Structure 1
Amino acid sequence: MALEDSTTSPPGRLRHRTVSAAVAESLRQRILNGELAPGIQLRQDALAEEFGISRIPIREALLQLEAGGLVKIVPHRGAVVAGLSVEEVEDIFQLRLQLEPPLLALSAPRFTRADYKGLRALTEEYGAALEAGQIERWGELNRRFHLDLLRHAARPRSLSIISGLLQDCDRPTRLQLSASGDVARADREHTQIVALCEADKVGEAAELLHAHIAHAATSLIEIYRRAHAD
């Protein structure tokens, strides 16, 4: 997968910045779709050989990924793909279980027709991405759906916390869906939550949201524990 790094490219620093951005984007997609798993070491010499370029843009690309939280620079190991521990995953989902269902109970009674139209469009887009195997889109669409469910709760601090939690569990959620085969279940439950809200069954919708998050947590923690046991 050689990238242009010849004398025909823009000179000096500009060339390195252009090539490093392309390398960073390639590695970012491989990390986000699970091809490069947490803990994998990203060796500069191996990457330079793979991309057919010098180590300078590789080093710059890894620094970009570190700034984005996808890579950690570890003493004596170099760059490794960042990931969450089992304990961190448990903590994230426990917080989501505590925060999201009550906020849905506050938000759903304030939904407008436009809100329901937007939520249904998101569920359709999410379902299409799941069916097409567009793994890189699952996390962002899932995050948007959950935040839109809670948008009218009038609890900005809580929503800010949830937004960060959803961002943190973006990759783990995609791992859970891919490894467990729960894509159809996730799609179905999203649709059911919206339908319950629209039918003015907000309590049932909040209960289903709790079960939805709890199932994802249980499934993902099991996957993480199996991986650590291997």
Structure 2
Amino acid sequence: MTELDNQQRPSATETVRKLLRADILAGTFAPGEQLRQEELADKFGTSRIPVREALRHLEAEGLVTLLNNRGAKVVSFTSAEVIELMEIRIALECRALRLAIPNMIQSDFDEAKRILVEYDKKSDPAQWAEMNWKFHETLYIPCNLPRLLSLIEGNYGQVSLFVRAQVSMASGKKTPQEEHVDILKACRAGNVEKAVDLLEAHISNTKKALMVQRRRSR
């Protein structure tokens, strides 16, 4: 194996981080649930060291809270905190999209379209959050600002912990998907202002659905 191959292979820590993050966002581990290093090491077939480092990365993303000598636990938020996080999401993602559109090329549009087609085929609401993230991430990557993208990923993960359970079933898939298509069309056309306006409305609609769900649960 060449040195380049070694550099391109994901580390054990990164592999565990991605797998554990996906499990958390899919609801395999519920908000407030304790994550034990030994059990996670067995689950992912690795030692405790990559698990420990992965948990530290996920704590930096705001998805888990480390516990002294007891692993970690999945974070939990009140609906009021999530509404605030969604305002942050609007600010971060709209800025990223504004900077990304001038850098987009045909392969970006093709990948975003491919994700939407795959998204349409998913009938399990547990998979919608993952597909939704893949679509949005594809639009933002061309902004070429790793720190901004990292902030967006962390914020999205935090919101998804709550939104997945509280909003996805109520909102369904049809309307969000129609909004995705419109956003992508505006990006293809290079219409920055329209795309950003559509994105803000798209996220705001989720926030409104969350607020409705919050009122109903009182």
Q: Tell me the TM-score normalized by structure 1.
A: 0.63
**Paired amino acid for 2:174:** A
Rg larger in structure = 1
Flag the structure with more relative contact order, 1 or 2, with Cα contacts below 8 A and sequence separation at least 6: 2
The unaligned stretches of length 5 or more in structure 2 are 1-19, 44-54
1:168 pairs with 2:158: yes
Report if the CA contact (8 A) 2:96-2:140 is conserved. yes
2:26 to 20, 25, 32: 32
Corresponding residue number in structure 2 for 1:195: 185
Compare 169-178 and 98-107 and name the one that shifted more: 169-178
Q: Judging changes above 3 Å, is the alpha-carbon distance between structure 1 residues 83 and 224 closer, same or farther for their aligned structure 2 residues?
A: farther
| Aligned mates of 1:216, 1:176 — CA distance in 2 | 10
Deviations 1:43-70 (A, max 9, x none): xxxxxxxxxxxxxxx9965998xx5788
Report if the CA contact (8 A) 1:105-1:202 is conserved. yes
Deviations 1:27-83 (A, max 9, x none): x68x9359x9757x89xxxxxxxxxxxxxxx9965998xx57888899xxxx99752
The unaligned stretches of length 5 or more in structure 1 are 1-24, 43-57
- Aligned structure 1 segments of 4 or more residues deviating by more than 3 angstroms: 31-34, 36-39, 58-64, 67-74, 79-82, 176-179
| Aligned mates of 1:101, 1:72 — CA distance in 2 | 28
Q: CA deviation at 1:194?
A: 0.5
CA RMSD of aligned residues (A): 3.4
Q: Judging changes above 3 Å, is the alpha-carbon distance between structure 1 residues 219 and 195 closer, same or farther for their aligned structure 2 residues?
A: same
Name the count of aligned residue pairs.
177
Deviations 1:80-136 (A, max 9, x none): 97521123202210111112112211101211111110010011112221xx2x222
Deviations 1:2-43 (A, max 9, x none): xxxxxxxxxxxxxxxxxxxxxxx9xx68x9359x9757x89x
**Paired amino acid for 2:107:** A
Corresponding residue number in structure 1 for 2:79: 86
Report if the CA contact (8 A) 1:196-1:204 is conserved. yes
Identity of aligned residues (%): 29
Report if the CA contact (8 A) 1:126-1:138 is conserved. yes
Q: CA deviation at 1:190?
A: 0.8
Corresponding residue number in structure 2 for 1:4: none
Report if the CA contact (8 A) 2:171-2:209 is conserved. no
**Paired amino acid for 2:168:** S
